[in-house]
């Protein structure tokens, strides 16, 4: 494989760096990362050099004698640091989905360096003078240019540009500490998750657990040098026990251990939480905001804390009575099957699966044979083709960072749109959950359209020696969710990298993901791919109807659970951190109104709440419910016109997916829907009204 050096200042690369693959121009398909050449030892010197290049680019913008204009200041800032962005895109994605102790150590060293670089930009007085000059005298700009200018100016303001010299130094110190603490939080959660393995030697203790899950557990035990079966806290393993194990003590043990992650163990996050909240509040107050939530919400659709709480209270008003009735009925059902005493949290999944089966004659074990992973991939691709004119071509010449990863070229009406990486299975080197990310963002300067490199990372049920990967219905829905994010990235058609794809406010970014989930229960979608993996029989119509009938099962509980996380997030980011003595007692108080089942002593949600303490959703978790209002209302238009109606789908691509952050979210939504969003569609879809 040949490489050419083309980046600015490349000629000045020291001899010892000239063979560093991270600093080379990649002669690869679509300039995709050459993962086979990149080693851990390449990252730090590459970052150090890329930071030098980026700082020189910023210095040139600062020191130019030209009068400040949009082009020589705002556009130039957007274009700066691309070598650094490329290296960061690889490094941090690897640290999330294929980490090593060395990568984690490097992250602790590199993150503060990047924070200092960011501070050098936003706390630069001469640079801010130029940005402010353009902001006050913008001239004629397109809508997208005006958005970039506004975003850039506010980024400076929100990063301390208007502070006194002394306060700027304080801002620097706080931001560096926060970058370290965020990393530490995530590392602790991963380490605590990986620190538990339940080894079972007697198969009698595993009655009720499906054969495929037992086979996975047997293979897991073998891989760890153990006899019998091994269960851990990865989602497929954990959920198999919680949903199917007749052994109540086993369910209780796994429940407790899952909800004790990074709590009162060697990886305890309680003090980390207190420190994060202390520094976040100090940062917000330094910038003139009373709370971190007020600071975080200023540029989001919600705008302020009051609007967030108003939404949550409105939804809780409808959700809690439904949830209370659901839990009372489930408790009665569990008692009819022999449970004595109150329904406990480790009973919920187990008895609800049985009740769901009785009420609707459908469950995951009935559905999984129709959701072979390869067929689900085909189905999701077919959906993207029918709605958005996307086609997907496997490319084995594109290198991957792990053998499990699949890669596709993505086209729309013959035009190359993106490279898509799919990474499906759990491993110890990967954090839990599912997410969409990018190795490279889209941008178009009018001459060159740089297309994105999009990656979907999940933790789905793996294949075994006897069976292919068969997904649960929830995993199918999760795939659709993350693929919705991917469409936002792949279909982006904007000029500026910082406005492309998913570069939108947190309470708008979940619209494309949650919208796509709606197709999961639609016959027209399921008929395209849901074939029995042995008989090749298409999923029966009556089974599809049962899926639809059961779709709102425990809808009140599901809504309250989301509101629990949202209220917890808002509590942490509106509370004076100096008043926090005990993390658990604060947590219990915040979520008391959303809870019905007995509290379990010795557990804590916050210590593993990665979304808000290490994942970018601080004072933003409400965004999932906010976006549910948007997606339900948006999907109602598809339902009115036909779920595969091309005119509606084209309008959605044109007004939402292609636009990224190039216009205000409400404007984009209104342009698509014809009006502002209404909550009724969500309440009706969920059966809450």
Can you give the pLDDT at residue 577? 97
Q: How many CA atoms lie within 13 A of 21 on its CB side?
A: 19
Can you give the pLDDT at residue 536? 97
Query: Would you say the C-alpha torsion 333, 337, 341, 343 has a positive or negative sign?
Result: negative
Tokens of 45: 């010197």
Q: Is the pLDDT of residue 8 over 90?
A: no
pLDDT tens digits, one per residue of 509-532: 999 999 999 999 999 999 999 999
- Give the neighbor-by-neighbor strand order of the sheet with 406-412: 390-394, 406-412, 415-423, 453-457, 435-440
Which of the four pLDDT bands, split at 50, 70 and 90, describes residue 12? confident
CA dist 306 and 326 (Å) reads 30
Can you give the pLDDT at residue 606? 98
Question: Across residues 397-422, what is the average pLDDT?
Answer: 98
Question: Across residues 278-291, what is the average pLDDT?
Answer: 98
- Distances in Å between the Cα of 613 and the Cα atoms of 27, 110, 141, 262, 343 are 38, 19, 37, 13, 31
Question: Across residues 649-659, what is the average pLDDT?
Answer: 98
Residue 210, SS3 per DSSP? coil
Q: Which residues are CB-neighbours of 571 under 8 A, at least 6 positions away?
A: 586, 587, 589, 590
Can you give the pLDDT at residue 7? 43
CA dist 228 and 245 (Å) reads 16
pLDDT tens digits, one per residue of 341-358: 999 999 999 999 999 999
Nearest to 153 by CA among 59, 88, 78: 78
Own/partner pairs, 306-315, CB within 8 angstroms, 24+ separation: 308/566, 308/570, 308/622, 308/626, 309/570, 311/622, 311/625, 311/626, 311/629, 312/563, 312/566, 312/567, 312/570, 312/622, 312/625, 314/679, 315/559, 315/563, 315/625, 315/688
Can you give the pLDDT at residue 395? 97
Tell me how crowded residue 227 is: count the other CB atoms within 10 A of its CB: 11
Nearest to 263 by CA among 17, 512, 608, 12: 608
CA dist 480 and 491 (Å) reads 16
Can you give the pLDDT at residue 582? 96
Which of the four pLDDT bands, split at 50, 70 and 90, describes residue 600? very high
Can you give the pLDDT at residue 226? 98
Q: Is the pLDDT of residue 3 over 50?
A: no
pLDDT tens digits, one per residue of 213-240: 999 999 999 999 999 999 999 999 999 9
Query: Would you say the C-alpha torsion 523, 525, 529, 533 has a positive or negative sign?
Result: negative
Burial status of residue 317 (CB atoms within 10 A of its CB: 0-12, 13-18, 19 or more): exposed
Can you give the pLDDT at residue 13? 84
Q: Is the pLDDT of residue 9 over 80?
A: no
CA dist 202 and 77 (Å) reads 63
Can you give the pLDDT at residue 11? 47
pLDDT tens digits, one per residue of 667-677: 999 999 999 99
Question: Across residues 263-271, what is the average pLDDT?
Answer: 98
Own/partner pairs, 151-157, CB within 8 angstroms, 24+ separation: 151/498, 151/499, 151/661, 152/74, 152/77, 152/78, 152/498, 154/299, 155/122, 156/122, 156/127, 156/128, 156/131, 156/132, 157/287
Q: Is the pLDDT of residue 441 over 50?
A: yes
Q: Is the pLDDT of residue 385 over 60?
A: yes
The catalytic position among 177, 187, 482, 517 is 482
Can you give the pLDDT at residue 1? 30
pLDDT tens digits, one per residue of 164-213: 999 999 999 999 999 999 999 999 999 999 999 999 999 999 999 999 99
- Distances in Å between the Cα of 331 and the Cα atoms of 249, 335, 348, 352, 556 are 18, 6, 9, 9, 15
Torsion of CA 267, 269, 270, 276, to 10 degrees: 150
**pTM (predicted TM-score):** 0.95
Query: Is 203 an annotated catalytic residue?
Result: no
Q: Is the pLDDT of residue 368 over 50?
A: yes
Phi/psi at 97 (nearest 5 deg)? -115, -10
Burial status of residue 59 (CB atoms within 10 A of its CB: 0-12, 13-18, 19 or more): middle
Can you give the pLDDT at residue 15? 83
Question: Across residues 575-582, what is the average pLDDT?
Answer: 96
Which of the four pLDDT bands, split at 50, 70 and 90, describes residue 684? very high
The overall average pLDDT reported for the chain is 96
Can you give the pLDDT at residue 658? 98
Count of H-run helices and E-run strands, the chain: 27, 11
Residue 4, SS3 per DSSP? strand
Q: Is the pLDDT of residue 312 over 90?
A: yes
342-354 as b/e: b if 16+ CB within 10 A: ebbbbbbbbbbbb
């Amino acid at each position: 494989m040949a490489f050419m050096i083309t980046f600015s200042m490349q000629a000045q690369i020291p001899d010892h760096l000239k063979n560093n693959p991270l600093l080379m121009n990649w002669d690869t398909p679509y300039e995709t990362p050459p993962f086979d050449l990149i080693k851990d030892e390449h990252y730090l010197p590459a970052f150090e050099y890329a930071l030098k290049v980026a700082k020189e680019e910023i210095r040139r913008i600062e020191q130019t004698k030209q009068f400040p204009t949009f082009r020589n200041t705002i556009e130039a800032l957007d274009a700066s640091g691309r070598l650094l962005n490329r290296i960061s895109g690889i490094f941090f994605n690897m640290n999330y989905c294929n980490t090593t102790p060395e990568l984690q150590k490097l992250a602790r060293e590199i993150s503060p360096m990047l924070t200092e670089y960011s501070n050098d930009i936003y706390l630069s007085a001469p640079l801010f003078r130029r940005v402010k000059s353009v902001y006050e005298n913008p001239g004629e700009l397109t809508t997208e240019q005006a958005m970039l200018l506004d975003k850039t100016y506010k980024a400076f303001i929100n990063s301390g540009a208007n502070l006194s010299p002394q306060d700027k130094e304080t801002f620097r110190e706080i931001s560096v500490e926060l970058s370290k603490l965020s990393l530490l939080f995530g590392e602790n959660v991963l380490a605590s998750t990986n620190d538990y393995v339940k080894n079972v030697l007697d198969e009698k203790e595993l009655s009720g657990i499906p054969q495929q899950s037992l086979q996975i557990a047997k293979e897991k035990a073998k891989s760890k040098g153990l006899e019998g079966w091994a269960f851990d806290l990865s989602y497929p393993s954990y959920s198999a026990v919680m949903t199917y194990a007749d052994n109540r003590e086993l369910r209780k043990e796994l429940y407790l251990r899952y909800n004790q992650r990074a709590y009162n163990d060697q990886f305890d996050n309680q003090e980390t939480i207190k420190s994060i909240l202390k520094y976040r509040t100090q940062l917000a107050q330094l910038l003139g905001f009373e709370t971190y939530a007020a600071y975080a919400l200023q540029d989001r659709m919600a705008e302020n804390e009051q609007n967030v709480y108003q939404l949550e209270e409105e939804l809780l008003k409808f959700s809690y009575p439904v949830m209370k009735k659901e839990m009372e009925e489930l408790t009665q059902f569990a008692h009819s099957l022999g449970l004595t005493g109150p329904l406990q949290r480790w009973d919920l999944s187990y008895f609800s699966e049985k009740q769901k089966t009785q009420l609707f004659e459908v469950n995951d074990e009935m559905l999984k044979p129709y959701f072979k992973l390869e067929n689900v991939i085909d189905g999701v691709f077919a959906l993207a083709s029918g709605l958005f004119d996307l086609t997907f071509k496997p490319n084995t010449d594109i290198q991957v960072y792990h053998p499990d990863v699949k890669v596709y070229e993505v086209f729309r009406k013959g035009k190359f749109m993106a490279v898509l990486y799919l990474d499906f299975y759990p491993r110890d080197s990967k954090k839990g959950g599912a997410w969409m990310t990018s190795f490279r963002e889209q941008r178009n300067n009018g001459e060159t359209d740089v297309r994105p490199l999009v990656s979907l990372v999940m933790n789905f049920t793996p294949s075994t020696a006897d069976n292919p990967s068969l997904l649960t219905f929830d995993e199918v829905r999760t795939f659709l969710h993350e693929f919705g994010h991917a469409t936002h990235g792949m279909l982006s058609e904007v000029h500026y990298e910082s406005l492309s794809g998913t570069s939108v406010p947190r309470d708008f970014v979940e619209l494309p993901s949650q919208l796509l989930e709606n197709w999961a229960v639609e016959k027209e979608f399921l008929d395209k791919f849901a074939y029995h993996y042995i008989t090749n029989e298409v999923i029966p119509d009556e089974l599809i109807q049962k899926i639809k009938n059961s779709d709102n099962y425990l809808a009140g509980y599901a809504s309250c659970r989301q509101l629990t996380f949202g209220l917890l997030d808002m509590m942490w980011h509106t509370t004076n951190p100096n008043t926090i003595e005990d993390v658990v007692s604060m947590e219990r108080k915040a979520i008391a109104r959303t809870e019905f089942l007995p509290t379990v002593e010795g557990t804590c949600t916050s210590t593993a709440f990665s979304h808000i303490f290490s994942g970018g959703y601080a004072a933003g978790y409400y965004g999932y419910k906010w976006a549910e209002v948007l997606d339900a209302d948006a999907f109602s238009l598809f339902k009115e016109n036909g779920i595969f109606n091309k005119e509606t789908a084209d309008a959605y691509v044109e007004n939402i997916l292609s636009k990224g952050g190039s216009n205000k979210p409400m404007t984009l939504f209104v342009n698509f829907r014809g009006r502002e969003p209404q909550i009724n569609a969500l309440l009706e879809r969920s059966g809450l009204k």
